[in-house]
Chains A and B, each alone.
Chain A
Amino acid sequence: MSDHAVGLPEKGFIAKAFSNRSFVAGFVITALVAAMALLSFVWTPYDVTKLVVADRMQPPSAEHLFGTDQFGRDVLSMIMVGARNSLAVALVAVCIGVGIGVPLGCWAAARGGIVDGALMRFNDIVFAFPALLSAIMITAILGPGAINAIVAIGIFNIPVFARIARAGALAIWPREFILAARAAGKGPALITIEHILPNIANLLLVQVSIQFALGILAEAGLSYLGLGAQPPMPSWGRMLFDAQTRMAVAPYLAIVPGMAIVITVLGLNLIGDGIADTLDPKLRRQR
């Protein structure tokens, strides 16, 4: 190879991700769910707080696309408003995890030694608690509600992100460009911001999509147990709970919110898969 430039400028990460099939599919699904949640702020087919007893337990029809529940509320409207709740809880919980976990992980990797040991052992302790059970305990103590659900789910996101950030950062620290940055007089904090974070961002992005999906499941689980968003605010988990005694009469009451959860989680997992594929050139070539 002669001494001049080789190869074309690499396409940006986002451009590459959009040429990945599973990323596009996941992105479309997630965008639709998010659009539905946003739309619910301004418009829903019916008012979800209004009870129309005369219309109770209607099977799906042109008037009520997904039918109505035992109080005559429109299921489609409830799904739309519930999406708001599910996405918000999962999103904020992921933000808590990223916001606290990533700095902790980077700090552990940069300092090493005792700081690293102590932080990671603390991490192990949090990991040792069964996440959903502990979340139930937290909401049981603090009282049920969307905010407490966020806190409970968020706390268990922290060690996940701390661990991923630390592992990623540890792989970057011994590289020569870090030495070069140190020779340029940059301290650990600046190096972490300028070099470590951009290089582990993709790794974290994959984890964000996974934790987001898990957050939606956890929120559904907590609501199902009555520890999430409180009535009259509809939520997917609570809809499942309410449907369970009426499975024989109106199976659609369980199927619709169940599908909503499955589809949203699927969309997020596809995004995660897509990012992971885009990151790993070897994997990409095999497709």
Chain B
Amino acid sequence: MSLLEIENLSLDIGGTPILKDVDLSIAAGEVMGLVGESGSGKSMTALAVMRLLPQAARASGRILFDGADLLAATEDRMNALRGDDIGMVFQEPMTALNPLKTIGEQVAEGIRWHTGANRTDAEAQARRMLDRVGLPAERFPLTRYPHELSGGQRQRVVIAIACALKPKLLIADEPTTALDVVLQAQILELLRDLVDENRMGLLLISHDLAVVTEMADRITILRGGEVMEAGDTAQTLSAQEHPYTRQLAQASMHVPERPKRSPPSPLRGGPIGEADRGGGRGDVLDSPRTEHSGPLLSVQNITRDYPGHRTSLFHKPPPTRAVDDVSFSLGEGQSVALVGRSGCGKSTLARMILALDEPTSGSIAFRGETITGRDQASLRSARRDMQVVFQDPYGSFDPRRTVEWLVAEPLHLLDRKPGKTERRELVSQALHEVGLKPADMHKYPHEFSGGQRQRISIARAIITRPKLVVADEPVSALDVSIRAQVLDLFADLNQKLGVAYLFITHDLTVARAITDDVMVMHEGRIVEAGRTAEILSHPQSDAAKALVDAAPDLHRAIAKRMQEQG
């Protein structure tokens, strides 16, 4: 008999149907992948199992856990189950922990509550659990606070809390979405080991088909609250019988069409001359000069220090070096990816290039003009040719302004301010170029979906016809099919407008999709640079290898599954 059996689960919230006749089952020791785009009802399914639905929600159907119907269970019974027999791991490790309690207290809390163990025993058990999830006692004593840990470490604490009492079922709702690929691989491996050790059932919820394929024995594909297809992972994904499954799979592997550039890349790597960090650079050394004035962007020996945390009144702390002696250059119309793990200094570098932050030392030249150490007024003409697209499609717009106002904001940089009608024309043209309707300009940002907002963000970036667009993780917050569309748009604009891109990402598939060249950044330095395809297939440095190995890849995952099953 299955551990968890969901039968005909339907759910509506305040009259809006969310789930329709969802069936799903998980056996002990089995990993079930639940895949779908945002709004498909994945998280609601998980919350229904936990009975943590919003108050206005009405659920019908049956959720059998160990033979008992959870929908009919009393609240006391649910409290006994939650955290004991059913554990849950949330998406956002930054907010899933109480910032005022030590990690030891938070892990021990559940143990004490459910088993009635005394403090000493519970803490001993918490210690063992933290050791198990990879937070050894020497470096991570129980007295650490969440803010002292990185995102990946916090997610390990969350997993320790969820698994402390060896639950029969673990629900992981997008457990790795907020992490970079290397951390993602580590966390997934940890989850898989825990499943094997304790014969747990795991309900893995993700929008990333590749992740689910690597992990899950069986998968369920959800769309608009309905199960589209369910079955054995390898079979379902290799056959791709259902059109929606095919659509999802294709979107995950999507590569925008773009003309191949024949000349060798004008990209020049940073301080990689030393033998120990070498590799992948020989063919990209010397750039053919573009017609006029050399490279579009040239970064020379840039370093950025942040003051360290003061620990004593009299001792000045050593500074933290976020970007360390980075040099590279970028030609007109060239598309380059800057790839690295979170916290490696990519975003700091981007901000310095955009003249939003001053380097501690080194210089940046844009179109041959130095832009470091200049006052704001004299940067206007450089800013006009250099725009930015941010990661978060929700945070990058002032919620109180209309789309017209927001898209027109960079027009502030023009020497001659356009009149009202002219401004409106420019905005509607920019919106048209990114595939939105000119009528959309009177709406507010919250009226758009994530993908549309990212289009608005791009419209804002191209309205001044810049030569360079710096995009900081522009698609990592988007669903796969929308991600594919936005990547297509980037590729398309690259051709039409001849704009150069600096793409900052931790996701190698994005780098592969739209860039000619890639630079790999690690701990503030560029450790490898060269043609994208080359580096992705033959990484030389450890940092690049780690990124390539950890990147989820649907082809590879399916192939591996098929092989395992013979």
Contact = CB atoms under 8 A, between A and B. Distances in A.
Contacts of B443: 5, 9
A3 B485 contact: yes
Nearest to A1: B39
B397 A177 contact: yes
B449 A184 contact: no
Contacts of B388: 179-180, 183
A230 B485 CA distance: 73
Contacts of B400: 198-199
B390 A1 contact: no
A189 to B, nearest CB: 11
A5 B409 contact: no
Interface in A179-210: 179-187, 194-195, 198-199
B410 A187 contact: no
Contacts of A176: 390-392, 395-396
Nearest to B376: A187
B409 A180 contact: yes
A184 B451 CA distance: 22
A1 B37 contact: yes
Interface stretch (B130-138, B333-341, B379-387): B379-387
A208 B397 CA distance: 27
A175 B395 contact: yes
Contacts of A1: 37-40, 449, 479
B482 interface: yes
- Chain B CB count within 10 A is highest, among A176, A186, A194, for A176
B422 interface: no
Contacts of B391: 176
B310 interface: no
A4 B485 CA distance: 13
A232 interface: no
Contact of B452 (A5, A7, A10, A194): A5
A2 interface: yes
B410 A183 contact: yes
A145 B410 CA distance: 52
Contact of A7 (B390, B447, B479, B485): B447
Interface in B478-502: 479, 481-482, 485
Interface residues of A, number: 26
Interface string A1-39: 111111111100000000000000000000000000000
B38 A183 contact: no
Interface in B374-418: 376, 379-380, 383-384, 386-388, 390-392, 395-401, 406, 409-410, 412-413
A181 B449 contact: no
Contacts of B446: 7, 10
A9 B39 CA distance: 19
Residue of A1, A5, A175, A180 with most partner-chain B CB within 10 A = A180
Given A4-B452, A176-B396, A183 B376 contact: no
A6 B447 contact: yes
A177 B395 contact: yes
A161 B440 CA distance: 37
A187 B383 CA distance: 13
Contacts of B410: 183-185
Contacts of B482: 3
A110 to B, nearest CB: 13
Contact of A5 (B37, B379, B380, B447): B447
Contacts of A184: 383, 409-410, 412-413
B297 interface: no
B448 A6 contact: yes
A180 B393 CA distance: 12
A183 B396 contact: no
Nearest to B435: A3
B465 to A, nearest CB: 14
B483 to A, nearest CB: 11
A181 B409 contact: yes
B80 interface: no
Contact of B449 (A2, A177, A180, A198): A2
A150 B13 CA distance: 52
B57 to A, nearest CB: 13
A2 B368 CA distance: 44
B350 to A, nearest CB: 10
A152 B409 CA distance: 42
A236 to B, nearest CB: 38
A187 B39 CA distance: 39
A177 B387 CA distance: 13
B390 A180 contact: yes
A6 B351 CA distance: 32
Contacts of B562: none
A4 B443 CA distance: 13
Contacts of A185: 376, 379-380, 383-384, 410, 412-413
B354 interface: yes
A230 B118 CA distance: 70
Given A180-B390, A184-B383, A3 B396 contact: no
Contacts of A199: 398-400
B264 to A, nearest CB: 31
Nearest to B460: A180
Interface in B406-441: 406, 409-410, 412-413
26 contacts: A1-B40, A3-B449, A3-B481, A3-B485, A4-B449, A4-B452, A5-B448, A7-B446, A7-B447, A9-B447, A176-B390, A176-B391, A177-B395, A179-B351, A180-B390, A180-B396, A180-B397, A183-B356, A183-B410, A184-B409, A185-B379, A185-B410, A187-B376, A194-B398, A198-B400, A199-B398
Given A180-B460, A185-B412, 8 more contacts: A3-B449, A3-B452, A10-B444, A177-B406, A179-B390, A183-B356, A184-B412, A198-B401
Interface of A: 1-10, 175-177, 179-187, 194-195, 198-199
